[in-house]
């Protein structure tokens, strides 16, 4: 059966993204847990390291070499305007704070838009040697070390009392006036944990958690997550229930709990 030309374009970009994220991982791990790692502060007081900048440079170089007409937007470097319908959205280290603390729950994110719609995502965890990825229409996949990829699927748990709830930091809930929602989720979930950033979202995509909420985030924090969650049978949505990465907040949730969690957030 012939492969549709659009699907061929996506598969080619997925193969490149998986290899590019491996190359970026090599650099990231060179500096990981190093006593000499210097942490700088950006204008918004968030941390950045030589690994963040170097990893994004690697990702951009690989994209430009393979697909020079694609646009690129990333966290650390200026945007590049391409000439076709594809746009990469990059976060070289999602979870720089855990990274600088020597905690392995950080990831490299590559999202791909086609005509403004997110169609591919790669989330690689360098220190764990795991990667979760998806392209639209081809399912979500989870590869652990040298094992064969397995299907990534959200859980089917429908009761909050049986579910794992994750978030990044409590203070962000206070910032947006949602402290009561946070406390409700903590009290009424089976387990509430601070497994934040992309790691928490991938716990939902692989069925190990049911809800992960980020009260404050940027587009590059979320772009890779949308296709993965959707192909895994779940949802990436903002606090209004829309699959947007541009509204400054978002959540990963399985299908069974989506409406209940949205109702809790809206109070």
Residue 208's closest CA among 142, 264, 262, 145? 142
Q: Please check if 93 is assigned to a binding site.
A: yes
Buried b / exposed e over 110-149, threshold 16 CB at 10 Å, is: bbbbbeeebbbbbbbbbbeebbbbbbbeebbbbbeeeeee
Q: Please check if 94 is assigned to a binding site.
A: yes
- Residue spans of alpha helices (H) in 67-120: 96-100
**123 beta partners:** 109, 132
Q: Please check if 129 is assigned to a binding site.
A: no
- DSSP class of residue 2? P
Tokens matching residue 121: 């995502």
CB 226 within 8 A of CB 252: no
- For residue 7, report the phi and psi dihedrals to the nearest 5 degrees: -65, -35
**List of residues 6+ apart from 66 with CB closer than 8 A:** 12, 13, 16
Q: Please check if 75 is assigned to a binding site.
A: yes
**196/199 Cα distance (integer angstroms):** 6
Tokens matching residue 214: 């980020």
Binding-site annotation, residues: 75, 91, 93-94, 221
Binding-site annotation, residues for Mg(2+): 75, 91, 93-94, 221
């Amino acid at each position: 059966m012939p492969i549709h030309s659009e699907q061929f374009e996506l598969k080619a970009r997925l193969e490149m993204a998986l290899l590019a994220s491996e190359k970026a991982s090599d650099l990231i791990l060179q500096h990981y847990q190093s006593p000499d790692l210097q942490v700088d502060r950006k204008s918004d007081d968030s941390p950045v390291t030589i690994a963040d900048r170097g990893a994004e440079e690697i990702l951009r170089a690989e994209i430009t070499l393979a697909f020079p007409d694609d646009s690129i937007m990333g966290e650390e470097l200026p945007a590049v305007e391409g000439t076709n319908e594809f746009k990469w959205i990059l976060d070289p280290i999602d979870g720089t704070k855990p990274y600088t603390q020597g905690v392995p729950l950080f990831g490299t994110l590559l999202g791909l838009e086609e005509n403004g719609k997110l169609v591919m995502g790669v989330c690689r965890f360098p220190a764990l040697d795991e990667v979760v990825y998806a392209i639209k229409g081809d399912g979500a996949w989870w590869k652990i070390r040298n094992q064969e990829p397995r299907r990534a699927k959200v859980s089917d748990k429908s009761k909050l009392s049986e579910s794992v709830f994750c978030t990044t930091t409590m203070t962000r809930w206070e910032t947006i006036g949602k402290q009561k929602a946070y406390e409700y989720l903590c009290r009424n979930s089976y387990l509430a944990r601070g497994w934040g950033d992309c790691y928490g979202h991938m716990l939902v995509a692989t069925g190990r958690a049911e809800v992960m909420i980020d009260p404050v985030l940027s587009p590059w924090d979320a772009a890779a997550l949308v296709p993965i969650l959707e192909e895994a049978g779940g949802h990436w949505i903002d606090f209004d229930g829309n699959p947007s990465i541009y509204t400054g907040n978002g959540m990963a949730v399985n299908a069974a709990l989506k409406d209940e969690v949205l109702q809790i957030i809206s109070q």
